Amino acid sequence: MLSLASMRSIEAALPSPLFLRTHRSFIVNMMHVTVIERSQVRFGDKLIPVSEMYRDSFLQYVGSCTITR
């Protein structure tokens, strides 16, 4: 999907407990993540990177909350 909105504005509009920024180009819905690794998350067969810039906040989020499906 192509959007003219900035990632920051999209991130602000999404419900923060479910959506998390992992990279300057990616915001993920944590309810659809199947595998979490240090440098990437997996949605079935698709891999999304977790950049160094967002890694600490991502790992802190993952360590501090429980997501139920």
Q: What is the residue-wise DSSP string for 1-21?
A: ---SS-HHHHHHHS-TTTEEE
Cβ contact 60:22 at 8 Å: no
Report the alpha-carbon distance of residue 68 to residue 64 in Å, rounded: 13
Residue 2 in domain: no
Residue 69 in domain: no
- Domain of 33? 7-64
Q: How many domains does the chain have?
A: 1
Residue 16 in domain: yes
The tokens 């998350």 sit on which residue? Answer: 41
Residue 18 in domain: yes
Residue 59 in domain: yes
pTM as predicted:
0.78
Residue 56 in domain: yes
Per-residue pLDDT of the chain (69 residues; tens, 9 = 90+): 667 789 999 999 998 888 999 999 999 998 899 998 878 999 889 999 999 999 998 888 888 866 555
Question: Which pLDDT value is given to residue 69?
Answer: 55
Residue 27 in domain: yes
Question: Which pLDDT value is given to residue 26?
Answer: 93
Question: Which pLDDT value is given to residue 59?
Answer: 85
With CA atoms as reference, report the closest residue to 22 among 61, 48, 60: 48
User: CB under 8 Å to 55, separation ≥6 — which residues?
Assistant: 38, 39
